[in-house]
């Protein structure tokens, strides 16, 4: 994963308000497709993931907002062409929905853990 800090509106991802002072942009640059047998593993598979985290301030309140875009492209393995298209589509949608939910859970859990660690370290410095 590549992380970049962008400031002052320079090269912000689409959808990030220009008044935001800093954006943490992420880009998945390396990944591996695991868990599929050779017979159903696609011959070509492309995954693109880009995202951004930034502070959103409104009055004296501040929140962390984020966005993530993911694109997936692959060639269907010949053995799967025997399955009706509507069944393949329904299964693919269910798998992708679960994948996105799983990613959200992991990101939210990591953010909470990182914030707790930050809070504890900050409290120790004040003592």
| Every domain of the chain and the residues it spans | 1-75, 83-127
Query: How many residues does this entry show for the chain?
Result: 127
Q: What mean pLDDT value characterizes the chain?
A: 83
Q: Once rounded to an integer, what is the mean pLDDT over residues 34-39?
A: 65
11: left (phi over 0), alpha (psi -120 to 50) or beta: left
* Tokens coding 68: 């993530």
pLDDT of residue 39: 55
Cα radius of gyration rounded to whole Å, the chain: 20
Q: How far is CA 87 from CA 19, 51, 103, in A?
A: 46, 31, 24
State the pTM of this model.
Answer: 0.60
Q: Once rounded to an integer, what is the mean pLDDT over residues 57-72?
A: 86
- pLDDT over threshold 70, residue 63: yes
Q: Between β-strands 2-7 and 22-27, what pairing exists: parallel, antiparallel or unpaired?
A: antiparallel
Residues 6+ positions from 96 with CB-CB distance below 8 Å: 72
């Amino acid at each position: 994963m590549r992380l970049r800090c962008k400031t002052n509106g320079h090269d912000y991802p689409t959808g990030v308000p220009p008044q935001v002072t800093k954006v943490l942009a992420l880009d998945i640059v390396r990944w591996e497709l695991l868990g599929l047998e050779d017979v159903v593993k696609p011959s070509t598979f492309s995954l693109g993931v880009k995202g951004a985290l930034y502070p959103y301030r409104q009055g004296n309140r501040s929140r962390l907002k984020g966005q993530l875009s993911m694109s997936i492209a692959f060639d269907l393995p010949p053995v799967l062409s025997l399955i009706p298209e509507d069944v393949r589509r329904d299964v693919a949608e269910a798998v992708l929905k679960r994948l996105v939910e799983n990613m959200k859970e992991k990101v939210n859990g990591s953010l909470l853990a990182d914030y707790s660690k930050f809070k504890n370290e900050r409290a120790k410095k004040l003592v």
